[in-house]
Amino acid sequence: MSSSHTDSSSPAVEMDPVEYTLRKRLPRKLPKRRNDVYVNMKTDFRAQLARCQKLLEGGGHREICVHGLGLAINRAINIALQLQASSQGALQLAANTSTVELVDDLEPEDPDEAGEPMTRTRNNSAIHIKVFYPDPQ
Amino acid sequence: MFTGCGVVSGQNQYLNRDAVRPHPGLEASRPIQMGNGVTPGTCPVYQGQIYSNAGQSAVVNNVSSPLKTAPLPVPLSALKLGQEGFKKVCRTEEDSPCPFPGLASGVLEMRVKEGSKIRNLMGFAMARMQGEKGVSGGGLSDGGLRQVVFTGSGRAVTKTITCAEIMKRKVGCLHQLTKLRYKVVKEVWESTEGGNSEMTVHRTVPSISILLSKDPLDPQEPGYQPPETLSALWEEREGAEPASHTTCKRPLGPLPHSSFPNCKRVCLGEGVSVLPPH
């Protein structure tokens, strides 16, 4: 990701304390809960959808949580709505939103130059959708 | 489990005889990666899928004048339509009922579109919310609205969420209620080559509605998010207590442990209880 031609902005390569810990956080949640699904734009949509389906039906989880960041928000919403549609209304959705900080590291293109590497922080939106079977009452 | 048909099963038009299919299989949306130079903004859009529970009227795609023969490779995406020499004439949203039950009528509704400028949206909304508090608190007058709803669909969803987050940050202690649903959008495409051919496309797109309110909302409602009174410093928590069983009962409530003052770095919101709730 670090091209040496232009100002290289690589997210979280340096040991920036904010970013380092931040980046550690997101993936760390993943193994913690089996029913967390993080959606991205690289994996095929159907595959992600199938994974969610499998968790709900086969895995015996009563609820799963679908997360999406930035552009993947749309996909996460789509997955959640599709899950709900295919369940014939048995599933319910609960969506929460949040802001995630992303840090870009800018390195000076010319190594001889005196510029120091800068970091730029930006915010991104994220969505967390809980897909669950409501408790029978 | 689901029909795993990437392409919408070659059904050429949504001249769907079977209007409401009980949807045993999922017709996954076609990832609109149409091969060439895909606009990054395209999100998987459901082309005229009909959902049994959605109570939508039969989504039928009318081809008013068949341009080509019937088995037309359905130009489902904007890209393809553009390539076929079509130009979008107009796009109307079909109005669906407001998803928030019992909402006061004097609520400001901000419709976020794809091309909206956040600066403009926030300027307007903030002025309304931060105006002088109405005497009765009903917020009917110009100043001091208590509630505001942001709605957006299709590509504007991310922007909608961003607007809501910005407002939450500027105006603290807002209760949030988020609703997701599908919206049917009707587009009319016309041929650029002349020939008076036009096509009406019904597209089902995901849409989001976010209600922000100064007044407390029902916490039992799915999609409720309490105001973040103390911002969670994730790294602190994660670093100090990796076991994480001590931390947050995060589900819905201010963090018991965060003793940090409002830090500028608002990381992740409380959101859904990411840690096992019980």
Q: Does A129 touch chain B (CB under 8 A)?
A: yes
Looking at residue B157, its pLDDT comes to 92
Report CB contact under 8 Å: A86, B23: yes
CA distance B144 to A121: 32
Closest A-chain CA to B25: A86
The per-residue pLDDT of chain A, averaged, comes to 74
Q: Would you state the structure tokens that stand for residue A46, as one six-digit string?
A: 């159907």
Contact residues, chain B, for A130 at CB < 8 Å: 222, 272
Most confident range (mean pLDDT) of A65-69, A103-107, B63-67, B104-108 is A65-69
Distance from CA of B175 to the nearest CA of A (A): 11
pLDDT tens column, B67-77: 444 443 444 56
Distance from CA of B106 to the nearest CA of A (A): 24
Nearest C-alpha neighbor of B59 from the set B159, B199, B200, B156: B200
Q: Does A55 touch chain B (CB under 8 A)?
A: no
ipTM (interface pTM): 0.75
Q: Would you state the structure tokens that stand for residue B147, as one six-digit string?
A: 């509630």
CA distance B61 to B49: 11
Contact residues, chain A, for B51 at CB < 8 Å: 85
Beta bridge partners of A94: A130
Residue A26 pLDDT greater than 60, yes or no: no
Helix axes A45-57, A72-86, angle to 10 degrees: 50
Looking at residue A115, its pLDDT comes to 62
Closest CB to A65 among B40, B267, B272: B272
Of the listed ranges B17-26, B68-77, B146-155, the least confidently predicted one is B17-26
Q: At which residue do the structure tokens 């029913």 appear? A: A35
The per-residue pLDDT of chain B, averaged, comes to 62
Report CB contact under 8 Å: A82, B29: yes
Comparison of pLDDT for B29 and A114, the residue scoring more: A114
Beta bridge partners of B180: B208
Closest A-chain CA to B31: A45
CA distance B101 to B131: 26
Residues 61-90 of A with CB under 8 A from B: 65, 70-71, 73-75, 77-78, 80-82, 84-86, 88-89
CA distance B68 to B43: 27
Distance from CA of B202 to the nearest CA of A (A): 17
Report CB contact under 8 Å: B31, A101: no
CA distance B122 to B128: 10
Contact residues, chain B, for A25 at CB < 8 Å: 234-235, 238, 268
CA distance A86 to A82: 6
Distance from CA of A29 to the nearest CA of B (A): 8
Report CB contact under 8 Å: A94, B222: yes
Helix axes B157-170, B118-129, angle to 10 degrees: 40
Looking at residue A34, its pLDDT comes to 77
Residue B83 pLDDT greater than 80, yes or no: no
Contact residues, chain B, for A17 at CB < 8 Å: 235
At residue B109 the predicted structure's pLDDT band, cuts being 50, 70 and 90, is: confident
Q: Which domains does chain A have, with CATH numbers?
A: 33-107+115-132 (3.30.110.20)
pTM passes above 0.80: no
Whole-angstrom CA distances from B128 to A115, B14, B107, B168, B210 are 44, 43, 10, 14, 17
Cβ pair B276, A33 in contact under 8 A? yes
pLDDT tens column, B228-248: 765 544 433 444 434 434 343
